């Protein structure tokens, strides 16, 4: 016997009584859904990310040179504030 109920968040669910007979349709499990990151749509993007270097040393060197030449503005107080906020020491 199926008894419709609802969860605290208002979603409808059905409970099956312990003595209820099992229907043949209920006994067949649905095919498991493919994991989102394993889908054929995501595979090319995942492979492209795997092929990328973990660190872009050329870009790091370019930024380091620009900082040394004063071509890139740097505010140490702003950086410190962002670090503190990211790590949760400030609301």
Q: What is the mean pLDDT of residues 36-48?
A: 81
pLDDT tops 90 at residue 6: no
Q: Please tell me the predicted confidence (pLDDT) of residue 18.
A: 46
Predicted TM-score (pTM) of the model is 0.33
* Residue of higher predicted confidence among 75 and 20: 75
> Looking at residue 38, what is its pLDDT?
74
Q: How far apart are CA 51 and CA 58, in angstroms?
A: 16
Whether the predicted pLDDT of 1 surpasses 80: no
Dihedral, CA of residue 46, residue 47, residue 53 and residue 54, to nearest 10: 30
């Amino acid at each position: 016997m199926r008894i419709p109920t609802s969860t605290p968040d208002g979603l409808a669910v059905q409970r099956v009584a312990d003595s209820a007979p099992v229907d043949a349709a209920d006994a067949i499990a649905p095919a498991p859904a493919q994991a989102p990151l394993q889908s054929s749509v995501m595979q090319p993007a995942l492979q492209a990310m795997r092929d990328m270097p973990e660190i872009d040393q050329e870009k790091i060197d370019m930024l380091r040179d620009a900082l040394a030449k004063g071509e890139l503005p740097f505010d140490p107080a702003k950086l410190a504030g962002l670090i503190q906020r990211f790590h949760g020491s400030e609301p």
